[in-house]
Structure 1
Amino acid sequence: MVMELDHLVVGAATLDEGIAWCERVLGVTPAPGGRHALMGTHNRLLNISAPAYPRTYLEIIAIDPEAPGPQGRARWFDLDQPALQAALRERGPGLIHWVSRVASLDASLAQWQGEGIDGGEPVAASRGSLSWRIALRPDGRRLRREGLPLLIEWGAAHPSDTLPACGVQLLSFEARDGLSARLATPGGELRLELLA
């Protein structure tokens, strides 16, 4: 299975807090994202593509207070878990997971299943001109203990194709012993570590 880093996920108690965090910590304002009706969340995006990490972005995500929750499943990235909600409220926004793109979501999930890993089931989603298939577990659990990402298969368009350059680039990424990423920002280098 060939996986490429697609995006880093920064969770926030509210989207406004996530935007303020991005402006304060990274020195830039994230671009508009949108609403995920499927999960009752909304986001903002930041292009962090670099030569070593093409078509890569940072997603700031929060529960959308104006949207109904998902039906029959928990929200992705453990956003419904009380421990993560408490961490986001008390410590502020932070890196909570990563997403990897694959050419065939079905084949990738089958390979993981053969290795005893429940990566979830393929679910179709869309927002505006973007469409994708994503692997979701009904419990919404991140595979962080296994050091594994959430898997995504994009349609024809990718968010980074239209996101403007912002002066932030991903320099390095590691997911072996916890999740960490090193970014070049307008103010210097910054290291993000897994929040919870």
Structure 2
Amino acid sequence: MIDHILYATPDLESGVDDLNRRFGVRLSPGGRHLELGTRNYLADLGDRTYFEVLGPDPDLPAPAHGRPLGIDDLTEPRLSTWAARVDDLDETVRTAVANGCRFDPVVAMSRDRGDGVHLAWRAAAPAEGQGFGGVIPFLVQWETDAYAAELSTKGMHLVSLVVSHPDTEMVRGHLASLDLADCVAVRQAAKPSLQATLRTPAGEVTLG
């Protein structure tokens, strides 16, 4: 299942203002990521799936290793990657590795939501070079019934998520090993990219 799709922007406020206009709703402030130098906005897409906008927080210092998702090098917003929700993270990673798709070690994560509810989850990201331009997702196993965007803006839904890559056979194989073959459409393209179509109060909006 798709957990969330992640839209990265070099300027969070202007990026969110543009999306609010295109969506016809206002995205909800999420949280600050002190160690990453970033902040986010969220929208609940239903079925525990959500949309996240991530950008630099000007009030936080940039980390020495740079902000995630290449945000520091972006010149315009883009759909950067996606996360898949799994029931058994350890078994999913073992199966993927056996099929040639490597992941970094599983990490336990948590934070307190704005309403004081504690959120906990475990995650694993594709090993360096194994994300293939963001088309292979990172994996999330929620440890709490509550989730990040539960209280965020409603009224939007994910229509489709398309991943494009020069080697579609390889991508389909890796997605199948993660039991995600039916979650997205895979298309041939000269370079890796993602495209999401959202149903919003302002009509369907496609982001890439």
Query: TM-score range, shorter-chain basis?
Result: 0.7 to 0.9
Question: Rg bigger for which structure?
Answer: 2
Aligned to 1:40: 37
The within-5 A match list for 1:84-103 is 85=74, 89=75, 92-103=76-87
Contact 1:76 / 1:136 at 8 angstroms: preserved in 2? no
Letter in 2 for 1:77: L
CA–CA distance in structure 2, aligned partners of residues 101 and 36 of structure 1: 21
Confirm whether residue 187 of structure 1 aligns to residue 175 of structure 2: no
Which stretch shifts more, 101-110 or 155-164? 155-164
CA–CA distance in structure 1, aligned partners of residues 78 and 57 of structure 2: 17
SS at structure 2 position matched to 1:163: coil
Contact 1:142 / 1:149 at 8 angstroms: preserved in 2? no
CA offset digits 1:82-135 (Å, max 9, x no partner) = 3xx2xxx2xx32211111111122222222211222222212222212222221
Aligned to 1:67: 60
SS at structure 1 position matched to 2:87: coil
TM-score calculated relative to the size of structure 1: 0.76
* Percent identity over paired residues: 33
CA offset digits 1:120-171 (Å, max 9, x no partner) = 22122222122222214675x6714483111111121212332242x22112
Contact 2:82 / 2:134 at 8 angstroms: preserved in 1? no
CA offset digits 1:41-88 (Å, max 9, x no partner) = 211101122xxxx111100001333335557x66443435x3xx2xxx
CA–CA distance in structure 1, aligned partners of residues 149 and 33 of structure 2: 18
CA–CA distance in structure 2, aligned partners of residues 79 and 15 of structure 1: 10
CA–CA distance in structure 2, aligned partners of residues 36 and 117 of structure 1: 28
CA–CA distance in structure 2, aligned partners of residues 70 and 125 of structure 1: 19
Aligned to 2:138: 150
Q: 2:20 aligns with which of 15, 20, 23?
A: 23
TM-score calculated relative to the size of structure 2: 0.73
Aligned to 2:104: 120
Confirm whether residue 57 of structure 1 aligns to residue 50 of structure 2: yes
CA–CA distance in structure 2, aligned partners of residues 100 and 162 of structure 1: 20
Letter in 2 for 1:60: V
Aligned residues: 175
Query: CA 1:56–1:127 in 2, change beyond 3 Å: closer, same or farther?
Result: same
Query: CA 1:138–1:16 in 2, change beyond 3 Å: closer, same or farther?
Result: farther
Letter in 2 for 1:62: G
SS at structure 2 position matched to 1:118: coil
Query: CA 1:104–1:64 in 2, change beyond 3 Å: closer, same or farther?
Result: farther
Aligned to 2:69: 77
1:174 Cα deviation from its structure 2 partner? 2.4
Contact 1:19 / 1:30 at 8 angstroms: preserved in 2? yes
SS at structure 1 position matched to 2:149: helix
Moved over 6 A (4+): none
